[in-house]
Amino acid sequence: MDDVQARLAKCFTAVFPELPRSQIPAASLTSVKEWDSVATITLMTVIEEEFGLQFEPEQLEQLVSFPSILEFLRGRKDD
Amino acid sequence: MMKLIDALQIARREPAPGATPLAVALVCGFSPLHLQTFLAANLRLLFPDRQVDVQTGLYGDLAGNLERLETATVDAGAVVMEWSDLDPRLGIRRLGGWGPGDLGDIVENVRAQAARFRGLLERISQGIPLAFSTPTLPLPPLSFMPGWRASAFDLALRESIASLEISVAPHLGLKMVNSQRLSLLSPPGDRFDVKSELLAGFPYTVSHADAVAWMLARLIRNPTPKKGLITDLDDTLWSGILGEVGVDRVSWDLDHRSQKHGLYQQLLRALAEEGVLIAIASKNDPGLVEEAFRTANPILPLSRVFPVEAHWGPKSESVARILSAWNVGADSVVFVDDSPMDLAEVKAAHPDVECLLFPKNDDQAAYELLERLRDLFGKDSVSQEDAIRLESIRSAHAVAEGAPADARSSDRFLEQANGELTLAFAKDPPDPRALELVNKTNQFNLNGKGYTEAAWRAHLAKPDAFLLLAAYQDKYGPLGKIAVLSGRRDGRVLWVDVWVMSCRAFSRRIEHHCLAQLFERFDAEELAFDFVATPRNGPLQDFFVQFVGGPPQPGLCISKKTFFEKCPPLFQTIEDSAHG
């Protein structure tokens, strides 16, 4: 697990404390029952704090799983 | 300040086994989101022994949420008002019109809503302690004037809020966020999160949510103020080393560029007048110190100080003697000195004393010290007891110095003191001094249990509950209200759940008199005490030993027969309070 993935996993653990660590890499809006609209806002705010970025509202519609968020963060780092 | 990820983790920490619940209603008209998280985390930190539960209401209905609070079972409420709660056109999620023709109607609407909230807040705060935040966000750009110019419209809205604040401020059950302090923690330009408001109905930036929650949690916690301040003299109370420059050359004014010392003295004098104990610990010639106070007329006069420890011995020893004279715990005391070495020496000997550096070369830092001291000693109100505290400590000291050791001499001493005990049994409404005593008394405390305002009111509201608040005076001066007993009646057994007595009242047999009064007033055959030994209630345990013949245990009971057989002679006269 690289640094970005580990930091993102830490964000998921904070927002979804009941989610087993092993399930975090595959976590998604559909697989995590606690992932509702409030959790989305909380998760995105925690990620914004952790990575020092600001999501645009339209990006939130795409960032619906751990892999998609990880891909976004890695793409941003490559910029 | 706290990050959201940390707040989430703190808020979800498992409470200690057996932790009692602390239910707090967060009452707001917007989506509570991160404010709820930060409030829970801050409360968790301030109430480590409680199981914190922050409950929320319905979106967009501040008034309704407030009304529902009236019947809710909570320990406290945190009420957070924003402009849009007073008129939706003052928010950005509704499009009701910002034209010149709308402004007058908005002002009228805000006035009417503010009056409505005033009534609700006054009523609800009688039953539930409330922490209240008035609008903290900037007004939207709906006035026709440029944003740098104050418009009559803006001012009229702010006048409505100021009137609301002034109206509710005197209510003891309601404590308001100080907007000046909030501005230091959260600059007004950094508060409004437009994206979050539009996306989620949550208008605060993360940092602003943290700041508001930090303040609300402190209002709910309402920390016990420190009781005493011990100050150094040279380069602290005044500028200059007395032994080097002489009495004429120490200063605390603008002319000598030593105004910060004058401000410090001014604050200490105010604290003394508010009932804070002030003492001096200084490595100095005692004769010179006495001369300086007599001839140089400091703003803080010697009459406001007790005791004065001026000599060349270690300051830790001075602090020990001062704590003994005051009879207060080290954790209730602040020590201020310009010498880091002396601060460290005192801290090593008295780790619970809060040691603060007087920054003699930094005006800004000195001013910040004054603010810090105000925070540490800040209280809800100034009572009659506060005004006489120093004199009663002096007289208690005189009593202790003059009190004889043997029982017969003690009897003669107490008899000639002309003590008078005044008893008040009124519990509706309870005298606020009673709860203050319960929560800040350590040494003569039945079990160390503290109460929130709501829990105290609930305790007293039980049909068989009783409350006894005792005040005392003798020829050495008044001590004010110094003892509280509370509990419930069960036939001929009187259960005592709460018993505290100020340490200033020791050695007068007031504690004996209080129990004698309970037996007689309630025609009780037995007193059953909710006794718990604490690390600090040794004086109370010593009192019980004389009746039970050994260390008291939980479940402690004393019969009327045993009590009066073993009770020493009591000399005080008893008066019933005219106020119940």
Nearest CA of chain A to the CA of B206: how many Å? 8
- Residue B252, pLDDT score: 96
Instruction: Tell me which residue of B373, B374, B381, B389 sits closest to B334, measured CA to CA.
Output: B373
Is B484 strand, coil or helix?
strand
pLDDT band at B465; cut points 50, 70, 90? very high
For A60, the closest chain B residue by CA position comes to B199
Q: Tell me the average pLDDT of chain B.
A: 92
Task: For the beta carbon of residue A45, count every other beta carbon within 10 angstroms.
Answer: 26
Task: For residue range A24-47, list pLDDT tens digits in order.
Answer: 999 999 999 999 999 999 999 999
Angle, CA of B516, B519 and B525, to the nearest 5°: 135
Task: For residue range B427-445, list pLDDT tens digits in order.
Answer: 877 888 899 899 888 889 9
- pLDDT of residue B62 exceeding 90: yes
Contact indicator for B80, B26 with CB cutoff of 8 Å = yes
Cα–Cα distance measured from residue B465 to residue B475, given in angstroms and rounded to the nearest whole number: 34
For A18, the closest chain B residue by CA position comes to B12
Task: For residue range B113-122, list pLDDT tens digits in order.
Answer: 999 999 999 9
Cα–Cα distance measured from residue B288 to residue B166, given in angstroms and rounded to the nearest whole number: 48
Strand order in the sheet with B333-337: B308-311, B277-283, B228-231, B333-337, B354-357
Structure tokens given for B378: 């800040």
CB-CB neighbors (< 8 A) of B31 in chain A: 38
Cα–Cα distance measured from residue B204 to residue B199, given in angstroms and rounded to the nearest whole number: 12
Q: In whole angstroms, what separates CA A11 from the centre of its chain?
A: 7
Look at A53-57, B195-199, B393-397, B426-430 and tell me which has the smallest mean pLDDT.
Answer: B393-397
Contact indicator for B279, B308 with CB cutoff of 8 Å = yes
Give burial (CB, 10 Å; 0-12/13-18/19+) of B241: middle
Angle, CA of A7, A11 and A16, to the nearest 5°: 145
Cα–Cα distance measured from residue B528 to residue B556, given in angstroms and rounded to the nearest whole number: 6
- Residue B321, pLDDT score: 96
Half-sphere exposure (Cβ direction) of B153: Cα atoms closer than 13 Å: 21
| CATH code of the domain covering residue A54 | 1.10.1200.10
- Residue B580, pLDDT score: 46
- Residue B578, pLDDT score: 59
Cis ω on the peptide bond leading into residue B307 (within 30° of 0)?
A: yes
Cis ω on the peptide bond leading into residue B429 (within 30° of 0)?
A: yes
How high is the ipTM of this complex? 0.91
Which of B10, B54, B199 is the best substitution to test chain A (most A C-beta atoms within 10 A)? B199
Instruction: Tell me which residue of B216, B578, B215, B225 sits closest to B436, measured CA to CA.
Output: B225
Residue range(s) defining the domain that contains residue A59: 3-77
Contact indicator for B65, B77 with CB cutoff of 8 Å = no
Please count the structural domains in chain A: 1
Cα–Cα distance measured from residue B122 to residue B81, given in angstroms and rounded to the nearest whole number: 15
Cβ A45–B12 below 8 Å, yes or no? no
